[in-house]
Each structure stands twice: as structure tokens, then as C-alpha cells.
Amino acid sequence: MGTRLRAYRATLERRQAFQQRTLPCAGRARMVRSRRMPLDLDVIPATAANYASRSPQDILSLAFSEYSPEIGISFSGAEDVVLIDIAARLGKPYRVFTLDTGRLHPETYQFLEKVRSHYGVTIEAVFPQPEAVQDLVRKKGLFSFYQDGHKECCGIRKVEPLVRALGPLRAWVTGQRKDQSPSTRADIPVVQLDRTFSTAARPLVKFNPLSFWTSQQVWAYIRDNDVPYNALHDRGFISIGCEPCTRATNPGQHERAGRWWWEEETKKECGLHVASTR
């Protein structure tokens, strides 16, 4: 056997010995091949736990690395514009949509426009189905929610349009925080399978990067980074939704006290986040 052939064989034997030490059985090889990625559906709860103490920037970065461009930020309030500000710095494509219920304050429309021009971002306004609105107004008038609760009107003006907005997406991002509502949002994870809007054929993942932030942290970010905000905040409004269902709060009142104030605390969700805690 020539010298070069002996050297080649020795190299081959060393390599085989190394592979046997590091991959001692077929099971180990299978495990390496099938290692779970952080956003595989069955490891999302573990990822949520791992990212619970990470920054919103890290969480959004993870979301975009997995789902851009099929990911959308749901935009309406102060938290959402913080997310847009962070997203704009990540340099990856994403969508922004807003649910235009037709009942928003003029200040909210001005705010949407300000955000659109400030970030040069397209904000896709999604409107309710006109026939459904007409039908509701014809049967019950314009303020039926004061008598029989907000669920029916929110279903038509918010939930059905949201289903359409989420249709082309694999993931969406919300500005929900745990401390916004102790009775409905206390257990929101930073990432979760959206059990309300997923379908068997199309699972949908929901990110809540500000879940662990307080209102003070949101406003510190807005001030420090010159982020645009809704002018109503300067007039005592904290959580802002539709005009007939939102009012300013007094000092010391919880921020959700200004929303659907005629209803019980545990019913103060519009249907967009009913399964947020699972």
C-alpha cells in the first residue's frame, strides 16, 4: 500500500471514530435532524417562557425572522405605534392594518394619518361589511350597545373585519399588556398560538411583545423616541377605542375604566383577544 493511500485510510478512520463518538446511535441522529425551532407550534409555550424577560425588540426580531413578510401589526393605540417604531428599525417587510369601525374619534383618524406619514408605512384600513352595519342600524339604531352590550356591534365592526385582515397572514402582533386589564389580560404570554383565529389548515401565531411592559414604560419609550401619539391622550383618555364607547378617566382610575363603562369588568374585551391567555 502506498504512503498516500495509508494516510488517506488513517484520515478516514479518524473521521469515522469521531462520528461514532459524537453521533453514537441512529436515535441521536434523528434527534439532531428533528430539533425543534423556537416557533414550531408545539414549542411555542416554551419559547414564550424563554422570551418572557426579553426586550420587545428581541421578541419582534424573533417574530420577523420567522414570519416576515406574512406578519402584520394591528394598529390603533399608543402601544401599537411603539411596535411600529421598533419594527421600522428592524428593516424587514411587514404589514400594518387598522380596523376602521366608522365610529372612531376625529383625533384617531388624524393620528393614523400622522403615523402613516411619519414612518412612510402603508396602513391598511379594514372596514366592516356595509350590509351587516346597515342591517344592525335598521333593526336596532346607532347605539344598541348601551342597551344590550357591545358584543353584537363589535362583532360586525371589529371581529369580522379582523378575520379578513388576518386571512393572508401567518402571524400578527398586538400591543396587549398584562396590566391593561387585571380581569382579562393578566396571563398574556409574549407569543402564543391564536386559538380564536387559527384554522385547522392555517395556524396563526400571535405575538404580544409588550406583554410585560407597564404603561409607564410605553410612555417613556414614546417620549424618548419622539413617537407620534393620539391627541386625546392629552385630554385624559388612556385606552382609546370607538367614540361612543370611550371616555376620559379620572386620576387614579384604571385605564380600562374609560371603555364600555356601563358593562362588567370581565366583559371588557371586544372579541379580538378572547383567548389571549391560553
| Cβ proximity of 68 and 88 under 8 Å | no
CB-based contacts of 176, cutoff 8 Å, min separation 6:
79, 185, 188, 208, 210, 211, 273, 276
CB of 97 to ligand SF4, least distance (A): 16
CB of 73 to ligand SF4, least distance (A): 20
Looking at residue 155, the DSSP 8-state letter turns out to be I
Instruction: Find the part of the chain contacting ligand SF4 (CB under 6 A) among 3-11, 15-23, 228-236, 240-248.
Output: 240-248
Contact map string, positions 64 to 103, toward ligand SF4, x by CB under 6 A: -------------------------------------x-x
Whichever of 71 and 245 has its CB closer to ligand SF4, that residue is 245
Select the residue whose beta carbon is closest to ligand SF4 and give its number. Answer: 242
Q: Considering only residues 155-184, where is the footprint of ligand SF4 by CB under 6 A?
A: 157-158
Quote the cell numbers at residue 59: 421578541
CB of 249 to ligand SF4, least distance (A): 16
CB-based contacts of 266, cutoff 8 Å, min separation 6:
183, 184
Contacting residue, 242, 249, 256, 268, with ligand SF4 by CB under 6 A: 242
List 97's β-bridge partners, or say none.
74, 124
> Measured between alpha carbons, how far is 26 from 239 in angstroms, rounded to an integer?
56
CA-CA-CA-CA torsion for 106, 175, 166, 203, nearest 10 degrees?
-170
The number of residues that bind ligand SF4 (CB under 6 A) is: 13
Helices (H), 52-129: 56-67, 78-90, 106-119
| 245 has catalytic annotation | no
Q: Considering only residues 121-160, where is the footprint of ligand SF4 by CB under 6 A?
A: 145, 150, 153-154, 157-158
Residues serving a catalytic function are 270
User: Which residues are near ligand SF4 by CB under 6 A?
Assistant: 101, 103, 145, 150, 153-154, 157-158, 241-242, 244-245, 270
